[in-house]
Structures are given as structure tokens and as C-alpha cells.
Structure 1
Amino acid sequence: MQSTGRDEYHTLLLGLESHSRIPDLSSDVIEEFLAHKPVAARWWTRLIAWESRLLWILSGASIVVSVFNYMLSFATLMFTGHLGALELAGASVASVGIQGLAYGIMLGMASAVQTVCGQAYGAKKYSSMGIICQRAIVLHLGAAILLSFLYWFSGSALKAMGQSEKIAEQGQIFARGIILQLYAFAISCPMQRFLQAQNIVNPLAFMSVGVFLLHILLTWLVVDVLDYGLIGAALTLSLSWWVLVILNALYIVFSPKCKETWCGFSIQAFQGIWPYFKLTVSSAVMLCLEIWYSQGLVLISGLLSNPTIALDSISICMNYLNWDMQFMLGLAAAASVRVSNELGAAHPSVAKFSVWVVNGTSILISILFSAVVLIFRVGLSKAFTSDSEVIAAVSNLTPLLAISVFLNGIQPILSGVAIGSGWQAVVAYVNLATYYIIGLPIGCVLGFKTSLGVAGIWWGMIIGVLLQTVTLIILTARTNWNAEVQNAIKRLQNSANEETSALDLTNTA
């Protein structure tokens, strides 16, 4: 250690010994402490407080961003629910079967930005981050062009999935109205991950809240006052997302906080794209398998007897589960940034410590959320519908919803750790086995071959998530964090070599 680092280290020891608050020290000092000195039990609370402070600085705003971005679609469905049960079923099935497909692909691809940009920021390789963001936007827009065909012909796709003609017709109206939102999402996902990797989260939170409030006003005006119905609600959702994209882009281009990481548009974004594409694919597969699992179970519920009631009830519960998921995804994003930053900075002990702190925090929060679900089981359904049959069906599903909410306190956080560490390919195999080989068949058997119906389908989801969570706990517990640091160094070296090669080609041309 240099003399300054040694002084900080002694300051830390004195702070711990005197039971005072840990000073605002660097991760280098905490890494030295955790790695080379046995930590006494009386010191753990202070170390946890240090990590929790960093975690909540990131996750507080990240949760706001995740929740309010999701609430744009959530609020739209609430307005459509009061248009009628058929409109709600159509919008819900389009949101799940069509928008959910794109949502999984875009978020999955964007997780590669979290991995590479997060580790690059930790290693202080700032100049490469803007190129990575631009490269991601190029790939996202390519995916959006392909997905546009699915959106436009969504009616046929929904019928092929077994939905009734009336529900599929309403779903197609909604899906065509949100095609523009698809392109906005393709640009916004990489930009938000780019900013989060630099610990720039508060501006994102203010933008998300402001756009959400504007969205509520516009949707009320378009749907309730002007009476433009389902297509009006969908187009308003698209408009709100484009407002968010414009605000994100203006901040990146003009904010002094991004002057080292954003150096303008570069041709390098189109060069050396194949190696990054491979990480993007594994990232997309990992998250798609997670997101499509719950979305697929909603679609399957439309094949039960009385599909409108089944779809409405499970869609309402899934919307609340997704709301909880967005909260946990905010924590997961913070965990991903903390882990990737510390691995990039060669701090394996701090990365490991951060993993356990964020998991403990999320479990406590999930216990609270599960209790809220059970206490307000009737009120949750009335926010969406006044239909007594749907309200009764939702109330019957809330105990299963509470179990899922608790599991959400662990699973997304471990997925965030996997993204920060670059384990996407391994987790993709885990998801395939636990969700689709085990959980989905069990849900279908319980839903269609027993009297459980929608509850049986949900039990299948719970079993799959439980098995996946247990597997990720084992993987995380057995991780060699020193080896993960070496993997991060190799990944950044490969990225730097690609950019150097691309720059040489440009200069030669």
C-alpha cells in the first residue's frame, strides 16, 4: 500500500475499534481490509452499513427508474381495463405475448451493456464506454426492425397461440399502436445502462417520474376525455417513451458528467461488432427465458375454460408481480453495477461482500411486500376492474402471488450478480432447464388435468422459479471471485483490442 492508502487503512481500523461510523473511504481500502485481515463479528455491522450506503445511493434511484418506466405500461392497462373486460384481455395478451417478447429481447441485450460498461468504468477505461453504448443501440435497432413485423401481424400470432378471435383482434389494435414504443425502447435501454454503469442514476429517476406524470395526464385526456379508446391508449404510451428517449439523449450529449465517457458518434460502433454480438445474444437468451416464462403462463391461461376471466385474473396478478419485479430489478441493477465496478477495479472481496449485502436487503423487503399483498388482496383487483367474478378470481390467486413476491426477493438479485459478472451463458442453461423442462410442464398438467385451473398454472411458475433460485444460490456460493476478476480483465483487454483494430482500419482507409 502507498502511504496515503496506509493512512486510510489505519483510519478505518480506528473507526471500527471505536464503534464509530465508518469514514467515507475508497473501495481499495475496504478490499485490503476484507482480503487481508480476519474480520471480527463486532465490525460486520459497520461494514454492512458502508456497503448499504453505496448500494442505496445506486438502487434508490435505480428502483425509481425501473418502477416508473414499468408504470407507463401499467397505467395504460389500468385505463384500458375500465374500457371493458374484452379490451383489458386484448391489451393484456398483447402486452404479454407481443410486447413481453420484445421487452425480454431488449432488456436481455442491454444487460451486455451493464456487464462491459460496468467493468470498463471500474477499470477506468472511460473512452470505450460510449462506443459500447452506440454499438448496443445499433444492434437494438436491428432487432426492433425484425420485431416490427410481429407487432403488425400480431393478430395472426395471437390466434396461433390459441387466443380467441375477439381477444386477438383487440390485441392487434393495441400492438400496432405501440410499434413506435418498440423503437424508443431499443434506444432507451442501452442509454440507461450506459448511465447506470457510471453511477449516474438520480437524473434518470427525475426523468422517469416526470414522464410518468405526463403520461397519466395524456392518457386520461386521450382515453377518458377524447374517447379514442384502445388505439389512443397505445399511441400515448409510444409518445411517452419517445419523450423519455429524447431526455436521456440530451443528458448524455450535453452533461459534463459524461464528457469522459461520451466522445460523440463514431464509426467504431459499426466495427468489431461480432464479438460484442455474441455476448449480447447470450445476455438476451438469459433474460428472455426468464421473462417469457411468466409471460407464457399468462398466454396458456387463455386456453382454459372461460378464458376472459382466466386471462383477466392472472394478468392483474402478473401486473402486480411485475411491479414488484421492477422494484427488485432496480436493486438488481445496483447489484450488477456494484459487482461489475468492483470486478473491473480488481476488488474480489468487496464484490463478494456486496452480493451478500444486497441479497439480505432484498429478502427483508420481499417479506414486507408479501404481507402487503395478503392484507390488500381484494383492493388490488378493484384498481383494475369492477367485475365481481374477476375480483373473486384475483383474491383466490393472491396467496400464490405472495409466494412469488417472496421468491422475487432473491432470484432477480442473483441474476443481476450474474450480469455484473458476465455469467449470462451459464444462467441461460439454468433457466432453460428449471423453467421450460420442469416448471412449464408441471404448470400445464396442474392447470389442465386438475381442478386447480389458473392456480395450477401459477404453481408451475413457482416451482420453476424456486429451482432456478436454488441453483443460482449454489453457483454464487461456489464462485471464485479472484477468478472473476481475471475474467473481467480479459474481457476488457479483448474489447480494447477490438477498438484498436477498428481504429487502425479507419485510419488506413
Structure 2
Amino acid sequence: MAVVNETTDLRRPLVEQKPLDDVGLESVLADGSLPYRRRMYLGACIEVKLLFRLALPAILVYLVNSGMGISARIFAGHLGGQELAAASIGNSCFSLVYGLMMGMGSAVETLCGQAYGAHRYDMLGVYLQRATIVLALVGLPMTVLYTFSYPLLLLLGEPKTVSYMASLYIAGLIPQIFAYAVNFTAQKFLQAQSVVVPSACISAAALLLQISLTWITVYVMDLGLMGIASVLTISWWFIVVAQTLYITTNQRFRHTWAGLSWRSFHGLWSFFQFSAGSAVMICLELWYSQILVLLAGLLKDPALSLDSLSICLSISVLSFMVSIGFNAAVSVRTSNELGAGNPKSAMFSAWTATSVSFVISIAEALAMLASRDYISYIFTADVDVAKAVSELCPFLAVTIILNGIQPVLSGVAVGCGWQTYVAYVNISCYYIVGIPVGCILGFTFDFQAKGIWTGMIGGTLMQTLILLYVTYRTDWDKEVEEARKRLDMWDDKKEPRQT
């Protein structure tokens, strides 16, 4: 009987004789003895498990981080309509530095992810420190910019009362700039090593802390918008301190974190140049939707437009965070596989993550449409605002579906190091097509918020189609070679050179 079993085993492909957890994705995809459909099925089983193991905690991290801003808006909305408008404008303006820091942090994601896949562990800690220094230096001029937020908002044509309240709210957020500088680099350092659960737990604790303290400052201490902003800043610093302690005291990072090093001060300018493309790519994406809020302040009945659009965008952001979780997961997967020299696995990861996120986004859009008449009451009790939100929900549904694809493709771009190219695509689609068309429809043809949103959806659709085409046409063997060259160029043994 043993002979029969042994003979039977010899007739089966090697990859099917082992548990899937012990079989590499590249081995499955490259096994010519398996039928194509069988390879795709086994590959999907492996990849989906890996993606969800990374994406679910990452989704929680981004949902919680976004939820901190949304909860601040909810508390502001229950103070009054002008307070909600002020907090919405304040958060939209502050997304400038959020996008800048998050974008520059994605350079760490590319380098750390590919270095980890190539087993060059010693450079991860150096990249982390180098990026933190660069981001902190970039944060210095941003503090000056936000100090003068009141005259800048007036210059942009926002209502005087709302601008003044928003400037007070922004003042309370200024210390948050340097929390971002540490948080995003530490977050990418952990993600590159597929360590995401601790960040999720820390973020969840920060959200609970923020909600509790905000309730006290608003309803007990009566500190209003300043109290809301101050607690939001404190919560972000709680995340930073907790993540820093976790990295510096945990033995699991003994190969990737060797302590503070003077090597991190080498090549700061070169690192800044490399991360600038990442910053532009992410910033242009994050600012795109926030410009919608700023333009809404110039429409007829700006308070109603701002309130309805900010609620829709808050819902969109919650959905977007799911896609951002897959963005982080696919970035880790593609960068790790490219660093390890596995082109088939990198390609398979890219398309699997895109497909899964797309299906989820359709379900989210349908759920949102089913609750369109009631969902706004989470944020406000105003009936007029609820009606305006309901009318905008079809536009929101289309946005949610597009956001199920576009961020994941951006994650592939980060994993491959295409940030500069995608930045040019974003400029063309968003700022040459989307916003001008939206302004023409909204102001010239008087379609108001619906017109602005229609133009911006057009820009997002155009960008998504371009990224789909570029990903489809990618030579993944060439990307493996590019990853190897990039790691050699950024090897700390010599000063990096620009190409």
C-alpha cells in the first residue's frame, strides 16, 4: 500500500504534495506541469491569504487614522453648522502636509520593501532614520504656512467667519506636522517587513483615547474647536511614541534596527530628491478631493455646499481607506517580490489585489446607495443637508467604485518605484482635465456641486484607465532588474547618485 501511495505522489506535481503555506507563489506560477487554470487557482489561494493578512490590519490602521479626523468633524458638526464648515476646511487645508509627509514616506516603502525582499536588512533602519530627518526638515516651513492660515483662506475667497474659526482649528493641529514625520516613516518601515497588526492595535487605542478626551474637552471643559484640534494632535503623538517604543525595544527587529546611526545623515539631499517624486504623486491624489471642498466654499449657499460635500467626502474617505489598505498590501507584496527576483509573483500580486479591491468597492457603493436618505444623520440633524447629501450619493457611488481600483494601482507604482511617472499622470488627469472641467460645469453651467464633482470623476476615470494600461504593459522581468539596480545605487557603502 505504501508503494502505491508513493507512486501516486510521484505522478502529482511537486507543488501539490506540500501545504500551500510551504509552497512559494513563484514556484506555483512557474510550474509548467500544472494546467494554467490550476496554477491560477493555487496562486490565488496563496496570494489572497497573503494580501488579506497584510491588508486587513492596514485597513484598520488607515480607517482609524481617518476616523480620528472624521470623529473631529462629527463633534464639530454637533457644535453647529459653521463649526462643521470650519473643521472641514481646516482638515482639507491640513491635508497638504498630510499628503506631503505620507508621499515622502512612500519612498521608504519602496526602498525598505525591495531591500527586505533582497535580504539587505541592515539598510532598513538607516532608511527609516534618513527619511525621518528629511520629513522633519520639510515640516519646518509648513509650520510657517499654517501660522498664516487666516489671511490665506481669505485670499482663497472663503467666508470671513468660517476662515477665522478654521484658522483657530488649524493652529491646534500644527504640532501634528512633526508627528506625521515620524509616524509615516515608522509605518512604512513596519509594513515593509509585513508587520501591521501592532500598528493597528496602537491606532485603535489612539482612536478610543481621542473620542474620550474630545468628549471631555467639548462637553465638560467647553473648549470648542480648539479642544477638538488639540486632542487630535495629542492622539497622533500617542501613536508616534507607541510605535517608536515598539520598534526600538522589540527583538524581532534586531536585524533591521541597529539603533541610531550617523549613516542616516549621509545623502540627505539625494534622498530628498528621490522622495520628492513620491510626495508629488501622493499629494496630487490627496489634494484632488480636498480642492472640491475649497471650491464648494465659492458656490451659492456655501455653508450648505460645504456641509453636504464634507459629509460625502467623509463617507468616501472611509471607503477609500479600504482601498488604501490594499494599496499598502500590494506595495509590500510587489516590492518584496521584485527585490527577491520573482517577476511572475509581482505581476500576479498586482492584478489579484486590484480585482479583490474592485469587488469590495462595488459592495460598498451598493450599501451606500441603499442608505442614501439616512446616512447624513450620523454627522448632522439638518434636514436640508441630508437632502443635499442624498442628491450627491450617485456621484459618491461612482467615486467609491473608481477608488476601489485607482489606489491599488498606485500601490503597485510605489512597489515598483514609478512614483515620478505617476505624478505626471496625476497632473495631467486631475489638474489639466478634472478640475478645469469641474469648474466649467459647476460655475459656468451652474450645475454647482454636481458639476464640480462630475469633472473630478472624469479626471479620476482617465487616470485609472492610464494606470490599468501601464500595469498591463509592464515588463516584470525588467522591473526585477530595475529593483536590483535601485538597491545597488542606494547601498550605503557609497553615496547614491541620481540617474
Normalized against structure 2, the TM-score is what?
0.95
Q: 1:331 aligns with which of 322, 326, 333?
A: 326
Structure 1 equivalent of residue 77 of structure 2: 81
Structure 2 equivalent of residue 24 of structure 1: 21
Tell whether the 8 Å contact from 1:290 to 1:431 is kept in structure 2 after alignment.
yes
Matched, 1:376 2:371: yes
Quick one: distance in 1 between partners of 2:11 and 2:97?
50
Residue 268 of structure 1 deviates from its aligned partner by 1.2
Long gaps (5+) in structure 1: 1-8, 504-509
Tell whether the 8 Å contact from 1:22 to 1:47 is kept in structure 2 after alignment.
no
Where do 1:70-219 residues align within 5 Å?
70-97=66-93, 99-219=94-214
Residue 39 of structure 1 deviates from its aligned partner by 4.2
Quick one: distance in 2 between partners of 1:392 and 1:13?
60
Indicate the SS of the match to 1:24. helix
Residue 386 of structure 1 deviates from its aligned partner by 1.1
Q: 1:47 aligns with which of 40, 43, 59?
A: 43
Structure 2 equivalent of residue 506 of structure 1: none
Structure 2 equivalent of residue 3 of structure 1: none
More displaced stretch, 473-482 vs 285-294: 285-294
Quick one: distance in 1 between partners of 2:303 and 2:53?
43
Tell whether the 8 Å contact from 1:22 to 1:46 is kept in structure 2 after alignment.
no
Matched, 1:495 2:461: no
Matched, 1:392 2:396: no
Structure 2 equivalent of residue 66 of structure 1: 62
Residues 122 and 214 of structure 1: is their aligned pair in 2 closer, same or farther, counting only changes over 3 Å?
A: same
Tell whether the 8 Å contact from 1:381 to 1:391 is kept in structure 2 after alignment.
yes
Aligned structure 1 segments of 4 or more residues deviating by more than 6 angstroms: 9-12
Residue 160 of structure 1 deviates from its aligned partner by 1.3
Quick one: distance in 2 between partners of 1:502 and 1:478?
33
Residue 224 of structure 1 deviates from its aligned partner by 1.7
Quick one: distance in 1 between partners of 2:302 and 2:467?
35
What residue identity is the alignment partner of 1:88? L
Quick one: distance in 2 between partners of 1:154 and 1:22?
58
Tell whether the 8 Å contact from 1:347 to 1:485 is kept in structure 2 after alignment.
yes
Quick one: distance in 2 between partners of 1:175 and 1:187?
20
Quick one: distance in 1 between partners of 2:154 and 2:65?
29
Residues 467 and 367 of structure 1: is their aligned pair in 2 closer, same or farther, counting only changes over 3 Å?
A: same
What residue identity is the alignment partner of 1:271? H
Residue 379 of structure 1 deviates from its aligned partner by 2.2
Residue 13 of structure 1 deviates from its aligned partner by 2.5
Residues 502 and 45 of structure 1: is their aligned pair in 2 closer, same or farther, counting only changes over 3 Å?
A: closer
Structure 2 equivalent of residue 428 of structure 1: 423
Indicate the SS of the match to 1:287. helix
Structure 1 equivalent of residue 250 of structure 2: 255
Structure 2 equivalent of residue 303 of structure 1: 298
Q: Deviations over 1:391-424 (max 9, x none)?
A: 1111110111011000011000000000000000
Matched, 1:472 2:481: no
Structure 1 equivalent of residue 3 of structure 2: none
Quick one: distance in 2 between partners of 1:274 and 1:451?
47
Matched, 1:351 2:346: yes
What residue identity is the alignment partner of 1:199? S
Q: 2:271 aligns with which of 267, 272, 276?
A: 276
Residues 380 and 128 of structure 1: is their aligned pair in 2 closer, same or farther, counting only changes over 3 Å?
A: same
Say how many residue pairs are matched.
487
Structure 1 equivalent of residue 13 of structure 2: 13
Quick one: distance in 2 between partners of 1:12 and 1:445?
63
Residues 54 and 11 of structure 1: is their aligned pair in 2 closer, same or farther, counting only changes over 3 Å?
A: farther
Residue 45 of structure 1 deviates from its aligned partner by 2.0
Quick one: distance in 1 between partners of 2:484 and 2:396?
41
Residue 32 of structure 1 deviates from its aligned partner by 3.5
Tell whether the 8 Å contact from 1:411 to 1:469 is kept in structure 2 after alignment.
yes
Residue 451 of structure 1 deviates from its aligned partner by 3.5
Q: Taking every aligned residue pair, what percent have the same amino acid on both sides? A: 42
Q: 1:237 aligns with which of 228, 232, 235?
A: 232
Quick one: distance in 1 between partners of 2:126 and 2:15?
42
Residue 348 of structure 1 deviates from its aligned partner by 0.4
Quick one: distance in 2 between partners of 1:271 and 1:323?
39
Indicate the SS of the match to 1:378. coil
Structure 2 equivalent of residue 454 of structure 1: 449
Residues 342 and 39 of structure 1: is their aligned pair in 2 closer, same or farther, counting only changes over 3 Å?
A: farther
Normalized against structure 1, the TM-score is what?
0.93
Long gaps (5+) in structure 2: 1-8
Tell whether the 8 Å contact from 2:338 to 2:479 is kept in structure 1 after alignment.
yes
RMSD of aligned residue pairs (Cα, Å)? 1.7
Quick one: distance in 1 between partners of 2:427 and 2:91?
22
